[in-house]
Structure 1
Amino acid sequence: MGWWSDEGDGHKGGLIAVLDDGCGGHRDAIAADAPHAASSSWWRFDGSEGRPRAIGVRVVCDCSGPTGHTVQTWRGTTVHPVDFTDRDHTEGTDGESPHGPYAEWEREHLAPSAATSVPGNVTALIDAVHQLLTELAVQRPLAALTAAARLEGVAGTASTRAARAALDTGRSWTNIGTALGITRQAAHQRLSPRIRLAKEADQVPPAPLLLPAVSPRLQEQVDALKPFVGTVLRSDGLTPGGTGKTRFEMPPHRPSGLDGAADKDAE
């Protein structure tokens, strides 16, 4: 019997028998402990036919890669009680064991694995870039070095942003280290200074954009040119009540010929 992940991501869980090691402790059963049994499944270690009797069971998971071959085996830390008369209850698949083996497998292994699982399109892209750089390193090694340097910069920025987001959502440095494949201490040493600098950069306000005010002397010169130019330059200046902005205004338009008529009327 075994459990397959619903996501189809290559996780096959199950139980192994835990035996008394004869020294006051326990150990996981191996196939040699039941040489004449059809399998080394946990329920075979029931004390019959000369086989040792299990004192408990432990969760294991064979995790396979894209090719389907097992790349690692995960083992739970809890020794669960065994009931040879009820396999479903022992495995925790009866729906009545929220802290049983099956629940531990989902909580302690599948959930963290899903959190660090890289989407297929990203994995394909990384593989493609790796192949291209491998070929470029032979054909144009200096160009490959330039591209690799850019990738290192991109990866560093992405790592900093991802670690900061992980911490903001309640993840620990242990989680971050696991995702990077390094220890908690190494992850903290690598990324903590970068995150601190990023936060400090976020707190620096942008420099204000100030437009210089037109001096009073310049304004007088502009005003003196009003009768001769088509636009009038005005400035609020950096004075109380002013906006510090410069604007252009069109003077009132007076139709040609009316000025003379108005002057005659005034006479």
Structure 2
Amino acid sequence: MIEVKHLAKRFRMPPQKDKTTAAPDPREHDGWFHAVRDVSFSCAPGEVLGLLGPNGAGKTTTLRLLSTALQADAGSALVNGVDVLQQPLVARQSIGFLSGSTGLYGRLTARENVEYFGRLHGMPADKLKQRCDELFALLQMEHYGNKRADQLSTGMKQKCAIARTVVHAPQVVILDEPTTGLDVMSAKILLDFIASYKALRVPLIFSTHHLHEVEKLCDRVCIINHGTTAFNGTLDELRQLGGSADLYDAFVGVINRGA
């Protein structure tokens, strides 16, 4: 179970020499940029939650806070009852986090990359081999295990990064835009892989700009706009609030309500 309540994070802004006439960002004041101001949502076992919002809304910062990569300034985040803010090292053991900015080690093979992170999690050699075999089969990358990461295609690199994220069988999975830049076949394999976590009863959160992925996979949706939760509920509730059966139009309707 993932429970996030009133999460907030700010960053000190560098001094600005030239003042512009553009409309000020509502998140900038008193020398701080409030990237996340008030975000709340939950994700139960077996649920997939889609985290949506315009560019710069605060989605990635929210996921980095939840994954313990950043420390929140306010609010609470519980992962299976463990307070992420108070016990980050304990919480990290049960989290699988894919960041859009974390690359692979290019000189290592695809399999060596995954095995390395398995060892960091203390997995014994026999279980690690079995888990790697399973993941490489599920992600349809068996023939690329011995290829160096810097020689892999974009899709194979992303599959490898996904395998590395979940090699330790985490109790919670967090994915930041996992299908960005992928071709149709690679994206489908990853979406099917995400869907498989429902049967495992593992809460999974992923951010995306592709609403057809949300419609296909998600049980619940959280929309962030200007660092605050603009919507948190089911797809049917989103359509009702957004005033349209079309998910794209409903999303725009919710964003415009808070503009």
TM bucket, shorter chain: under 0.3
- Larger RCO, structure (CA 8 Å, separation 6 or more): 2
Which structure: greater helix fraction? 1
Tell which structure's C-alpha radius of gyration is larger: 1
Which structure: greater strand fraction? 2
Give the TM-score normalised by structure 2: 0.21
